[in-house]
């Protein structure tokens, strides 16, 4: 099994789940950008099934070596630049990795797949992990379905949409056995503290302002990361080749309500007399350009066809997440100080 982006937030959850379920071999191909962190894989790094390859997915030569060395039975492609705000400030890396990198991984997977004996080729799978942001914005009603037309707003969403199109084209033109997942917002342990939930938790713990875009009215559907990892493994094992699976948490929340819920949990788990109620730290800031109003997916196909089910509802998932950050300072203090990759993060990178 080859997992790209396995040192990232979702990728590390997928790698941990694969190792826990006894996968024969799990090869993590990751370049270790600012978002890649081997600390997130501590619990599996000594497992004999786990291998790490520090490789850029845009490097075709290195990919060829990795595929020849490990001869994977499947590819789960998660490596990407993933932060919308960064894509607005500097789209270049997003195009390079999310479009060019997806192209390179597809090309190598295709070369490898065509070289496999027929029985192995029959079983080979390429699972591409993408986002619901490719569909743009919903108004107050309705859900994205697998026939919603693509209409991306941000450079991040555009680059992911381009990657999705390449994956489908490699399936139709070359027959590579690809499947696509479009998933809603993930949250949980080991998420880099630039995203809304961990940023709010860590700023709240440090008595720093809690920035919220606009008036916090934008709505996202939240999914606990281990439920997403389960969905990825279900699609890998049981999904129909050529199919698209939408995955979501059935938990639509306004950003402001998510931030308030984090504040209430901090009040309970880490009461701070100097701050009083953590809600007092909320600061509304100028809205993100092109900020889509609402995303929410219809996940009925994966539930119906692959028997996937949510196991962590939002309220308990958020409690688990806040508790994890409170109890795992070692992880995020190394991230915030830059020790995890030998450099220090500037404030701008966190905001």
Respond yes or no: is residue 315 known to be catalytic.
no
Nearer to ligand NAD, 10 or 18 (CB): 10
Residues 100, 144: contact at Cβ < 8 Å?
no
Residues 161, 134: contact at Cβ < 8 Å?
yes
Q: What minimum distance in Å lies between the beta carbon of 93 and ligand NAD?
A: 7
**CB-closest chain residue to ligand NAD:** 8
Binding residues for ligand NAD, rule: CB under 6 A, are: 5, 7-11, 30-33, 35-36, 56-58, 78-82, 97, 101, 129-131, 160, 183, 185-186, 192
Helix (H) or strand (E) holding 186: strand 185-187
Nearer to ligand NAD, 129 or 265 (CB): 129
Nearer to ligand NAD, 104 or 203 (CB): 104
Nearer to ligand NAD, 221 or 261 (CB): 221
Q: What minimum distance in Å lies between the beta carbon of 157 and ligand NAD?
A: 9
Closest alpha carbon to 43 in 186, 189, 188: 189
Respond yes or no: is residue 34 known to be catalytic.
no
Nearer to ligand NAD, 160 or 278 (CB): 160
Rg of the chain in Å (alpha carbons):
20
Closest alpha carbon to 324 in 230, 196, 195, 197: 197
Q: What minimum distance in Å lies between the beta carbon of 4 and ligand NAD?
A: 6
Q: 302 Cβ partners below 8 Å, 6+ apart?
A: 231, 234, 235, 245, 246, 247, 308
Q: Which among 53, 132, 164, 194 is annotated as catalytic?
A: 132
Q: What minimum distance in Å lies between the beta carbon of 118 and ligand NAD?
A: 31
Alpha-carbon distance of 63 to 67, in angstroms, equals: 6
b/e map 261-291, b = 16+ CB within 10 Å: bbbebbbeebeeeebeebbebbeeeeeeeee
DSSP letter (8 states) at residue 288: P
Respond yes or no: is residue 190 known to be catalytic.
no
Q: What minimum distance in Å lies between the beta carbon of 245 and ligand NAD?
A: 12
Q: Which among 133, 226, 227, 261 is annotated as catalytic?
A: 133
Q: Which among 39, 108, 156, 295 is annotated as catalytic?
A: 156
The catalytic site residues sit at 132-133, 156
């Amino acid at each position: 099994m080859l997992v790209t982006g396995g040192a990232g937030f979702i990728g590390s959850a997928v790698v941990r789940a694969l190792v826990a379920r006894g996968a024969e071999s799990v090869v993590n191909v990751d370049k270790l950008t600012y978002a890649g962190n081997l600390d997130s894989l501590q619990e599996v790094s000594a497992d004999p099934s786990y291998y790490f390859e520090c490789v850029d997915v845009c490097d075709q030569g290195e990919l060829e070596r990795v595929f020849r060395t490990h001869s994977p039975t499947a590819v789960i492609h998660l490596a990407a630049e993933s932060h919308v705000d960064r894509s607005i400030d500097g789209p270049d890396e997003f195009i390079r990795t999310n479009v060019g990198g997806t192209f390179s991984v597809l090309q190598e997977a295709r070369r490898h797949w065509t070289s496999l004996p027929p029985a192995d080729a029959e079983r080979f799978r390429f699972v591409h992990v993408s986002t619901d942001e490719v569909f743009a914005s919903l108004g107050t009603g309705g859900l994205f379905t697998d026939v919603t037309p693509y209409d991306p707003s941000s450079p991040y969403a555009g680059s992911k949409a381009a990657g999705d199109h390449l994956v489908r084209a490699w399936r139709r033109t070359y027959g590579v056995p690809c499947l696509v997942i479009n998933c809603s917002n993930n949250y949980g342990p080991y998420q880099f503290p630039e995203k809304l939930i961990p940023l709010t938790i860590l700023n709240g713990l440090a008595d720093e302002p809690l920035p919220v875009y606009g008036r916090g009215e934008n709505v996202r559907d939240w999914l606990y990361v281990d439920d997403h990892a389960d969905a990825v493994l279900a699609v890998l094992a049981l999904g129909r080749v050529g199919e698209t699976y939408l995955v979501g948490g059935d938990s639509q929340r306004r950003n402001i309500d998510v931030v308030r819920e984090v504040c209430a949990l901090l009040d309970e788990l880490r009461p701070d007399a100097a701050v009083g109620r953590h809600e007092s730290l909320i600061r509304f800031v100028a809205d993100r350009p092109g900020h889509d109003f609402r995303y929410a997916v219809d996940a009925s196909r994966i539930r119906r066809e692959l028997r996937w089910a949510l196991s962590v509802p939002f309220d308990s998932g958020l409690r688990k997440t806040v508790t994890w950050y409170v109890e795992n300072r070692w992880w995020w203090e190394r991230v915030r100080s830059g020790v995890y990759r030998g450099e220090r993060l500037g404030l701008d990178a966190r905001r």
